[in-house]
Amino acid sequence: MAEKDTSVLTAQETFGEDPVVGVGLMADDARQAARGLARAPRAWKDRALLLMAQRIEERSDVILEANGKDLERGRQNDISPALLDRLKLDPARIKGLAEALRELAALPDPVGTIVRGQTLANGLRMRQMRVPMGVVGVIYEARPNVTVDIAGIAVKSGNAAMLRGGSAALESNRALVGILRDALADAKLPVDSVQTVDDYGRDGANALMGARGKVDVLVPRGGRGLIQAVVKNATVPVIETGEGNVHVFIDESADPQMAEKIAVNSKTHRTSACNSAETLLLHSKSEAGKQVLAALDKAGVKLHVDERAAELLPPGSDHLQATEEDWETEYLGMEMAVKVVDSLDEALDHIVKYSTGHTESIVTNNLANAERFTAENDSAAVMVNASTRFTDGGEFGLGAEVGISTQKMHARGPMGLEELTTTKWVVQGDGHVRS
Amino acid sequence: MAEKDTSVLTAQETFGEDPVVGVGLMADDARQAARGLARAPRAWKDRALLLMAQRIEERSDVILEANGKDLERGRQNDISPALLDRLKLDPARIKGLAEALRELAALPDPVGTIVRGQTLANGLRMRQMRVPMGVVGVIYEARPNVTVDIAGIAVKSGNAAMLRGGSAALESNRALVGILRDALADAKLPVDSVQTVDDYGRDGANALMGARGKVDVLVPRGGRGLIQAVVKNATVPVIETGEGNVHVFIDESADPQMAEKIAVNSKTHRTSACNSAETLLLHSKSEAGKQVLAALDKAGVKLHVDERAAELLPPGSDHLQATEEDWETEYLGMEMAVKVVDSLDEALDHIVKYSTGHTESIVTNNLANAERFTAENDSAAVMVNASTRFTDGGEFGLGAEVGISTQKMHARGPMGLEELTTTKWVVQGDGHVRS
């Protein structure tokens, strides 16, 4: 084995045919790497990120060649133009990958931050300190940019990453992971800080979900089907991300111009994003209703309306009658459900019933209603007079994000570097014992 | 139903025979209660806690009568004297329950704390605010004091609690929960903030574990068997607590007096506690070895020693030869495994291999070794020159605790009020949209 370059061996050649055994061995290597990475000061990690960026740019031909094979196979398999576009890399996008790593290098390092600390009455000195989680697994769809983003975020926060990208991006991800590992070696950091289990295919994903005790946390990043499958099957602790049945409520006192602007932006700015609005709730006494629906219609949004909302539609609009299913649907496209409500309470009850806990926004000029809306909605982010599209790590000023957590444990909302850390209590005494 | 006092109905009479349906309905009630509790200011919650304390003292005869029935049934079922003692209440212990609630009332309320906040370049004002988790499930063993502790911690942190105590404490828990609910009603807080699923027995526990989406977090509190069963079977997110294979390492430079004091205190101060030491690692060049082992032997600890440690034992000591199993064993009694190591690295490797990630302590006068020991141990708490028994919410100055988390997600180490909260982003704009 010694004379072979392991970066060109498949996982099966290195770790054996059995995916559970193989992924287990990879996780052991990841644990060793994580022990080294946890002690690496920020400067070393940043140097590795900058080297990763440089190597990606230098070897863009290798990446494009691999990506070309994926695209060719994708076309043969008739995957949709939208998926092909997400899979596709070009020189500009490769530059974007490198830039994202350089931006990560510029962000502060959460590791070593003292969260709380004090000297107790008995003289014990205590510090609660941020430390890396250890080994982080991420399961995502065929987007090569996620491979680089996640690897960068993991290394910066001191974690070893075990990646499972969609099989449609197999060649692209293999090329990228190889380059990232070479950069880690050049930076004298453990190469097993970044590994992919893609060679094991679906079995590799399943093995990753079952590696309890070996993998500290698993983040599924993708559509609803992927996330629910991981939540259901994983024994490793999971952080749910990204399901967004997002609501905008136009209150009685809403300024019609502002209501129009926020509703249209929340819905149409990027319909495939999880923070895009899916249901519009209109106060029956609001003067904004007709104007907002006309603007949405003009923007090309197909509206699914209840009976009272239908009366507010512009003549000739492209609409459907809303059914129970519409209140639950995350369209992720140019469609929106619309319901007229008679009070803030009715709006809140609707949201509590149908929300996935991602983001909700109220447009209002009533202070008491703004307070109640933010207090009584049980979602990761609640907005007053702002587009739901702002729920985003970059927009929140947190830097890069692993995903947007819609669960309450550990992380809620955009997950950045800090959310990939845990804490440790360090206690210093002088022979202290309990009496 | 209207004329009946529901506090004397069984869960089956109120919610039906099917435990999954019944626990689901109880969880819906808990969710409603949690919505009310989340908006209750600190003063209301503290008043409820003080009323709970008062009612428990006033109705101690009811509690003692119920507890007497549990004790009688326990004796008939031949449960061990240790378990009977944990089950038993007396006037002094009831006073202790009330006092614990009064201490909780005096602690600060984490709800509403702003964790981070800023005004972004575009003028958006953002606050990350602590909010209650919502509905918290706790599964524990037959200890009536846990019923009161957990209910108090849940109410103070704005959460509704769904409790499942051991069946041996059925009557005691029913009496206590009835009194706590009466106090909530007196304090004008939702009575369903505290409920027990005990009437459904084991099926109730299983239903609680499966109530994903209805229960926000589940905390198992008890022995290894209970915790592992919950981790394995629950679909609700779980926080693991309390497994402690705790190590004390006596380094080469350790002061022998201090080493003796810390080893004996860590092992013998309260052997049934999860923060008690189970394995002693002795540096082969330490002068403290003989003195420490003699002190442990004199204190009545049965030592499980490796070959080199055997040579340091006092003549006539009660000992056994250590096997691989001893390094993994949480004795929770007057027994301890002892191994001689030749270096800090060997000690760290042993701990990384066998630790459950609870607490480890080093006794040393070497600064570099102290730093490495605290940095390279991946445990919730790492001590320098202090007894492992200090890993405790009360000792850490955090107040009451739900348990000691040994996992990395969400909470690590003693879990107090703050650990039963999550955060929410509140974003305030003036018509902000993304461009």
Task: Retrieve residue B411's tokens.
Answer: 């909470």
Amino acid letter at A105? Answer: A
**B111 found inside a domain:** yes
Inter-chain contact A428–B386, Cβ cutoff 8 Å? Answer: yes
Do A226 and A104 share a domain, yes or no?
yes
Looking at residue A222, what DSSP letter applies? Answer: S
Q: Which of A387, A385, A389, A393 is nearest to A412 (CA)?
A: A393
Residue B432 and residue B122 in contact, taking contact as beta carbons nearer than 8 Å: yes
Neighboring chain B residues of A431 at a CB cutoff of 8 Å: 255, 257-258, 261-262, 385-386
- How many domains are contained in chain B? 2
* Structural domain contains residue A155: yes
- Count of alpha carbons within 13 angstroms of residue B251, beta-carbon side: 21
Residues 6+ apart with CB under 8 A from B284: B308, B340, B341, B342
Residue A17 maps to a domain: yes
- Asked if residue B225 belongs to a domain, the reply is yes
**Minimum mean pLDDT range among A263-267, B82-86, B377-381:** B82-86
pLDDT digits (tens, 9 = 90+) for A147-172: 999 999 999 999 999 999 989 999 99
| Residue B154 shares a structural domain with residue B271 | no
Mean of pLDDT values over A232-245: 87
Taking the CA of residue B426 and the nearest CA in chain A, the distance in Å comes to 5
Q: Is residue A301 domain-shared with residue A180, that is, in the same domain? A: no
Q: Would you tell me how many other CB atoms lie within 10 Å of the CB of residue A156?
A: 28
Residue B7's pLDDT band (cuts 50, 70, 90): low
How does residue B399 score in pLDDT terms, banded at 50, 70 and 90? confident
Give the CA angle between residues B379, B381, B384 to the nearest 5°: 115
- Structural domain contains residue B410: no
Residue A5: band (very low, low, confident or very high) from pLDDT cuts 50, 70, 90: very low
Whether A166 and A34 map to the same domain: the answer is yes
Half-sphere CA count of A378, side-chain side, radius 13 A: 26
Q: Grade residue A7 by pLDDT with cuts at 50, 70 and 90.
A: low
Q: Confirm whether B1 is domain-assigned.
A: no
A272 falls within a domain: yes
- Which pLDDT band, with edges at 50, 70 and 90, does A399 fall under? confident
Per the structure, the complete domain to which residue B296 belongs is given by 246-395
B115: pLDDT strictly greater than 90: yes
| Chain B residues touching residue A424 (CB < 8 angstroms) | 378-382, 412-413
Give yes or no for a contact between B195 and B29, defined as CB atoms under 8 angstroms apart. yes
Statement to judge: residues B330 and B384 lie in one domain? yes
| Residue A184 zone, left/alpha/beta (φ > 0; ψ -120 to 50; rest) | alpha
Q: Are residues B297 and B197 in the same domain?
A: no
pLDDT beyond 90 at B318:
no
State which residue of chain B sits closest to A361, comparing Cα positions. Answer: B427
Residues A204 and A119 in one domain: yes
Same domain, B251 and B236: no
Instruction: Read off the amino acid at residue A4.
Output: K
In-domain check, residue A432: no
CB B390, CB B380: distance < 8 Å = no
Q: Which of A289, A349, A368 is nearest to A360 (CA)?
A: A349
Residue B416's alpha-carbon distances to A126, B394, B421, in angstroms, are: 16, 9, 10
Q: Tell whether A235 and A251 lie within a shared domain.
A: no
Across chain B, what does the average pLDDT equal? 94
Closest-CA residue of chain A to B266:
A433
B97 and B188 part of one domain: yes
Minimal CA–CA distance to A427: which of A126, A144, A167, A212?
Answer: A126
According to the model, what pLDDT value does residue B213 have? 87
Average pLDDT over residues A111-133: 95
Contact list in B for residue A128 (CB cut-off 8 A) is: 413
Enclosing H/E stretch for B101: helix B91-106
Per DSSP, what are the bridge partners of residue A249? A281, A362
Q: What is the pLDDT of residues A74-105, one digit of tens each?
A: 999 999 988 899 899 999 999 999 999 999 99
Interface test with B, best of A215, A434, A435 (most B CBs within 10 A): A434
Residue A2: pLDDT band with limits 50, 70, 90: very low
CA distances from A289 to A252, B59, B90, B332 (A): 10, 58, 65, 67
Q: What angle do CA A146, A150, A156 make, to 5 degrees?
A: 150
Q: Is A422 in contact with B430 (Cβ distance < 8 A)?
A: no
Q: Above 70 in pLDDT, residue A39?
A: yes
Q: What are the backbone angles phi and psi of residue B221, rounded to the nearest 5°?
A: -130, 110
Give the closest-approach CA distance of A409 to chain B in angstroms: 6
Interface contact A386-B423, CB threshold 8 A:
no
Question: Which CATH number covers residue B339?
Answer: 3.40.309.10
Query: How many beta carbons lie within 10 A of that of residue A121, not counting itself?
Result: 7
Joined together, the tokens standing for residue A118 give 């004090």
Nearest to B410 among A262, A410, A434 (CB): A410
How distant is the Cα of B60 from the closest Cα of chain A, in angstroms?
31
What is the model's pLDDT at position A221?
A: 87
Pair of tokens at residue B217: 């977090």
Residues A237 and A292 in one domain: no
* CATH number for the domain that contains residue A129: 3.40.605.10
On whether both B124 and B57 belong to a single domain, the answer is yes
The mean pLDDT of A13-39, rounded to a whole number, is: 95
Query: Per the structure block, which two tokens stand in for B240?
Result: 């693991």
pLDDT digits (tens, 9 = 90+) for B90-114: 999 999 999 999 999 999 999 999 9
Cα(A386)–Cα(A246) distance, rounded to whole angstroms?
Answer: 13
